Amino acid sequence: MSTEHPPLAEFLADHWPVHDPHGHINGTVPGSIAVYDCICGDVYNATLADCLQHQADAWREACTIRTAEQVLNLPVGVVLHSNNDGAIELFSDGHGHWYLPGRRDAIPFRRVLDNLPALLIWHPDWSQS
């Protein structure tokens, strides 16, 4: 399993709003305003909405591909979404063989790099979880 790109359920286990300052699970203190912390330790004394926004932002950051090195380390079958090409899938290792779904002509590796950052929307390891 890829630790760099963990499945969503595994990721959420590390970014979950669970405790308020009094140690009550999920901020459930009768008659009080719920206050949450994130398990990861990056968010303290926050509203549930703030914790959930942190969760979404952290997931997006974890799935953002920014460098050529990251692209080169992606396995066959991965799907990225870029603003210019939409969804593209890697069909073979190395510097090429990225395709738009339903198309036969490859997208040049340079174009993939020129369209970074891209969002990782599917990783083959995720099907194993």
Would you list the domain boundaries of the chain? 8-62, 65-128
Question: How many whole angstroms from its chain centre is CA 80?
Answer: 11
pTM attached to this predicted model: 0.75
pLDDT in tens, the chain (129 residues): 345 777 777 787 787 777 555 555 554 555 556 677 787 888 877 888 888 899 999 999 999 999 999 998 898 889 999 888 889 988 875 555 888 877 777 888 889 999 999 999 999 888 875
Quick one: pLDDT at residue 63? Answer: 93
